[in-house]
Amino acid sequence: MAIKITDTFRHQGMRKKLCDELRAKGIVSTDVLQAINAIPRHMFMDKAFLEFAYQDKAFPIGAGQTISQPYTVAYQTQMLEIKRGEKVLEIGTGSGFQTCVLCKMGARVYSVERQRELYDYPPKLIEALGYSPKLFYGDGFKGEPMFAPYDKIIVTCGAPNIPKALIDQLKPGGRMIIPVGMDDQIMTLVVKDMDGKITSSEFEKFRFVPMLPDKS
């Protein structure tokens, strides 16, 4: 059955407040704030949890996974400096919320998820919202070589290391944002220069669900 999108003035008001909060926490990109302001985050969670949908918190979405905290989504997206038309690879589709934020910013999104349970609902919601990213069921450690190289790569689960396949799939001049670590993660920005040289810089600590090895 098709998903019906409900987005009332109340939802829009709550979302605007969330964006004000993100701005107060240091998110300055108007492109990022506008995108978050446009995506009905409540639709990504069970109706019973409306009051949580616009709090700046991560939330469980089933299969032991979470929808990322809005601040984390905003922070990672801002770091990527997305421009319209860029090809972006996302590892960890999860709820599909981050995917929609990237689509709203005009990116051509390729997103990989390793859990079947999560792979079923998000595509229907993403489509109902009017976006058409390419979604894959697979192992993010391998990236998605078929459509490589990518202008930008975003990893939305905690990676034990920076997978070599992802560095290989980044375009010269490209940027990757990846949380690296086991218990908590250091947000790491990897930049590939035009000669293919890699520079990485480390930022704040975050806590993500772990990037899990391939099931097969």
Q: What are phi and psi of 209, to 5 degrees?
A: -70, 150
Residue with smaller CB distance to ligand SAH, 126 or 190: 126
Closest approach, Cβ 19 to ligand SAH, in A, equals 17
Which residues lie near ligand SAH (CB under 6 A)?
65-68, 91-92, 94-95, 97-98, 112-115, 118, 139-141, 156-157, 209, 211-212
Residue with smaller CB distance to ligand SAH, 86 or 110: 110
Closest approach, Cβ 150 to ligand SAH, in A, equals 15
Residue with smaller CB distance to ligand SAH, 133 or 140: 140
Residue burial 123-155, b: 16+ Cβ < 10 Å; e: rest: bebbeebebebebbebbbbebbeeebbbbbbbb
Residue with smaller CB distance to ligand SAH, 65 or 169: 65
Q: Is the Cα dihedral 169, 133, 81, 114 positive or negative? A: negative
Residue burial 92-114, b: 16+ Cβ < 10 Å; e: rest: bbbbbbbbbbbbbbebbbbbbbb
Q: What are phi and psi of 55, to 5 degrees?
A: -90, 150
Residue with smaller CB distance to ligand SAH, 92 or 174: 92
Question: From CA 109, how far away is CA 127, in angstroms rounded?
Answer: 13
Is 36:74 a contact under the CB 8 Å cutoff? yes
β-bridge mates for residue 22, sequence order: none
- Of the listed 29, 68, 95, 111, which one is catalytic? 68
In the annotation, is 68 catalytic? yes
Closest approach, Cβ 90 to ligand SAH, in A, equals 6
Closest approach, Cβ 43 to ligand SAH, in A, equals 12
Amino acid identity, position 188:
T
Is 53:101 a contact under the CB 8 Å cutoff? no
Closest approach, Cβ 118 to ligand SAH, in A, equals 5
Residues with catalytic function: 68
